[in-house]
Structure 1
Amino acid sequence: MTELKIAYSPLNDAALILVAEALGFYDSEGLNVTLIREANWSNIRDKLAYGMIDAAHILAPMPFAAALGLGPSMGRIIAPMALGANGNSVLVSAKLKARLEDGGKLDTSLLGSARLLAREVERRRKEGLGRLVFAVPFTWSPHHFVLRHWVASAGLDPERQIQWIVVPPSRMADMVKDGVIDGFCSGSPWPQAAQLNGHGEILFSDPDYWTLKPEKVLGVRAAWAEANPEATIALTRALLRAGQWASTPAHREDLIRILARTASVNAPWKAIELALDGSGLTFDPQTATFPWISHAKWFMGQMVRWGMLSPDHDFDQLARHVYRPDLWREAAAPLGLDCPLADEKTEGGQPAGWEIPAKPHNILMPANQLFDGGVFRCA
């Protein structure tokens, strides 16, 4: 048995890591895994950097940000798979919601709500009020990019007209309740728990922004992976098996039960259930776990777009330095999954189901569309 330590954040999208432990998939793949629950992403980053853990459930942009000199180094991290798609929601306080409505009906489309937000920003400026404050779980995170894109779609300057703070997801609801922040974007089930407790209302979720949005990946220390190549494939295979199980409708109640455990996500059953219904979270190993190079480039493109990074980097080389589609294929083939022939695809521009060339059979993919009609093509 190969021993390893895996960290995770208490979120629904850590499900594959939790399911693989609960159902014995690690053991059956020859792995003796110790799971470590962490309160925030900085802890996970630092423990990877110092070799205190071997792998982790991590935000997809984290290893790129670290490799590009944004924040402390993590050492080299590879990502042999994604851990699903979607799963985040944006919640605003009851007070902000009322001001956005202003006696009328709230337009919940992303473009419509962004225009209402722009109106509120201007009204606050005239009234001499401070900037709206939104929380995200990490600076270099999909949550931050989603909120900035949403804000900018109405012509606002996200850097100058909104205040951003970093808060662990499980603490965000209390900060809304106490009036410290006006809203937040986080992984489920914390927005759903906040809404159930009357602390605010969910404005939109990942599928409204991007119908199949990349989010978390399995991050593995490259040194560990290189020293344990067979175990790396076994770990990836165990998590793909967990994806097969978790994406089966008949297993839904058991999945909620695993997530609700005190040692797992430790959130109310109802919040977890609402999140699985409303956040678009999918664990389908065939359509939501491949580590697309185009996803990696999109994340780094967002860092450039928002002034976090200069464009003077070889993004293709860095993407392939971290994302490892070859390892996914090696782990997936024995499970009967179809393997994409290419490592990249166009992101956006697909409003309905479409096919990706793969072997032995093409893969029928769900819609892949961004809310503003944008299309991202790799250079």
Structure 2
Amino acid sequence: MLSVRIGFSPLNDAALVVLAEALGFYSAEGLDVSLSREANWSNIRDKLSYGLLDAAHVLATLPLARGLWLGPAIGHIIAPMALGANGNSVVISSKLKEVFEGLGASTLLESARALRLVIQHRRAVSEGKVTLAIPFNYSPHHFVLRHWLAAGGIDPDRQVQWVVLPPSRMADHLRDGVIDGFCSGSPWPQMAELNGNGVVLFSDPAFWTLKPEKVLALRGVWAEEHPEAAVALTRALLRAGQWAMDPSHADELALILSREAYVRAPLEAIQAALAPGGAGLILDPQTATFPWISHAKWFIGQFVRWGLTEGIHDFDAIARRVYRPDLWRQAAAPLGLSLPFEDEKDEGGADAPWMLPAAPDPVLMPPNTLFDGGVFRVRRA
């Protein structure tokens, strides 16, 4: 068996990575996997860079940041699959939630406008800026919060203070008044709410019903040296997704995630995040694991929008060098999954289930909408 070192962050959306170990899917694919529970995304990025990890559960933006020459420029990273969709929540202080309710803010757009009024009031009475925590600068969490703030007329660079914290520490900082809110992966937002340290304002599905969040990252050199293992690893995770989609496995899934070696969080918080109305995590290998080039381009567009890179790159080439639908198809075909005909799709604009052209059968996809009605369209010849 080939030995493979895989890093992960203790979050519910690492489910496929830990399930594949707990249920023996790695060994069934001829892989001897050792998992490494990491404290933060910088650790994972750096260990991938220096060859201390072969693969990892990472932010969907992390391999793209490498492709844009942001952060350490050592080694190429590819992403042969997504590890599901959704899974994050935004938590705010109870005091801030009371202000929103007093202003009648009941939608995401209304809450962003209400926050603008809070910011204006604080400035008028010489109070500090609203402070929001994220787990990594180049993260979907950061882009979600910026998009939401901007929709309410807030300048995320001038009117908000940003701090980077490990998700497991965010609730304590919220309780102590150091921050006003945070965005992180579950189950940490649900744990904060259960402990009375804050209130969940919204979760990923309210922002984007089928939001990309984490991917499987492979060190490029390792994937080139072990092409069959790269496909086998992807297939093991797809098999874990097939298992996770069985409703009868819901209780076992939560129990596995709560183990000391994995997420190491109270079962109640994990279950709250996985339950309907929670963080909306989707693990379906058919509808939520394809590495869409359109997802990569949307994220690259956010890097440009927020001044993190300049619009001088060949974004299509970067997206296709990093996201690898070809490897997903190789891994998925033997499992009987349908293979999408295209590598891109419109993001947003589908407020009802829709059919994705694929072989051998079309795929019934969930709704795909953004809260502000925006649509990121694929350019077709």
Q: For this structure pair, what is the TM-score category when the shorter chain's length is used for normalisation?
A: over 0.9
**CA distance in structure 2 between the aligned counterparts of 1:94 and 1:257, rounded to whole angstroms:** 30
Q: SS state of the match for residue 20, structure 1?
A: helix
Q: SS state of the match for residue 160, structure 1?
A: coil
List gaps (5 residues or longer) in structure 1. none
Q: Residues 14-70 of structure 1: CA distance to partner in whole angstroms, max 9, x if unpaired?
A: 000000000000001000000000010000000000000100000011111122122
Q: SS state of the match for residue 281, structure 2?
A: coil
**Count, aligned residues:** 377
The residue that corresponds to 1:286 in the other structure is 286
Is the 1:207–1:213 Cα contact (8 Å) retained in structure 2?
yes
The residue that corresponds to 1:367 in the other structure is 367
Q: Report deviation, 1:377.
A: 1.4
List gaps (5 residues or longer) in structure 2. none
The residue that corresponds to 1:164 in the other structure is 162
**CA distance in structure 2 between the aligned counterparts of 1:90 and 1:182, rounded to whole angstroms:** 11
Q: SS state of the match for residue 6, structure 2?
A: strand
Structure-to-structure mapping, 1:119-158, within 5 angstroms: 119-158=117-156
The residue that corresponds to 2:179 in the other structure is 181
Structure-to-structure mapping, 1:230-241, within 5 angstroms: 230-241=228-239
Distance 1:13 1:230, change over 3 A: same
**CA distance in structure 2 between the aligned counterparts of 1:43 and 1:129, rounded to whole angstroms:** 35
Q: Percent identity?
A: 65
Code of the aligned partner of 2:112 = A
Output the aligned Cα RMSD: 0.9
Is the 1:10–1:266 Cα contact (8 Å) retained in structure 2?
yes
Pairing 1:244–2:242 present: yes
Q: SS state of the match for residue 290, structure 2?
A: coil
Q: Residues 101-121 of structure 1: CA distance to partner in whole angstroms, max 9, x if unpaired?
A: 3xx375231111111111111
**CA distance in structure 1 between the aligned counterparts of 2:198 and 2:104, rounded to whole angstroms:** 14
Is the 2:13–2:281 Cα contact (8 Å) retained in structure 1?
yes
Q: Report deviation, 1:248.
A: 1.2
Code of the aligned partner of 1:93 = S
Q: Residues 326-374 of structure 1: CA distance to partner in whole angstroms, max 9, x if unpaired?
A: 0000000000000000000000000000011100011110000000000
Code of the aligned partner of 2:201 = L
The residue that corresponds to 2:26 in the other structure is 26
Which stretches of structure 1, 4 residues or more, deviate above 4 A after TM superposition?
none
**CA distance in structure 2 between the aligned counterparts of 1:292 and 1:223, rounded to whole angstroms:** 22
The residue that corresponds to 1:273 in the other structure is 271
Which of residues 249, 256, 278 in structure 1 aligns to 2:254? 256
Q: SS state of the match for residue 18, structure 1?
A: helix
**CA distance in structure 2 between the aligned counterparts of 1:15 and 1:74, rounded to whole angstroms:** 28
The residue that corresponds to 2:308 in the other structure is 308
Code of the aligned partner of 2:170 = M
Is the 1:108–1:203 Cα contact (8 Å) retained in structure 2?
no
Q: Report deviation, 1:72.
A: 1.8
The residue that corresponds to 1:6 in the other structure is 6
Is the 1:67–1:74 Cα contact (8 Å) retained in structure 2?
no
The residue that corresponds to 1:341 in the other structure is 341
Is the 1:63–1:74 Cα contact (8 Å) retained in structure 2?
no
The residue that corresponds to 2:45 in the other structure is 45
Is the 2:67–2:322 Cα contact (8 Å) retained in structure 1?
no
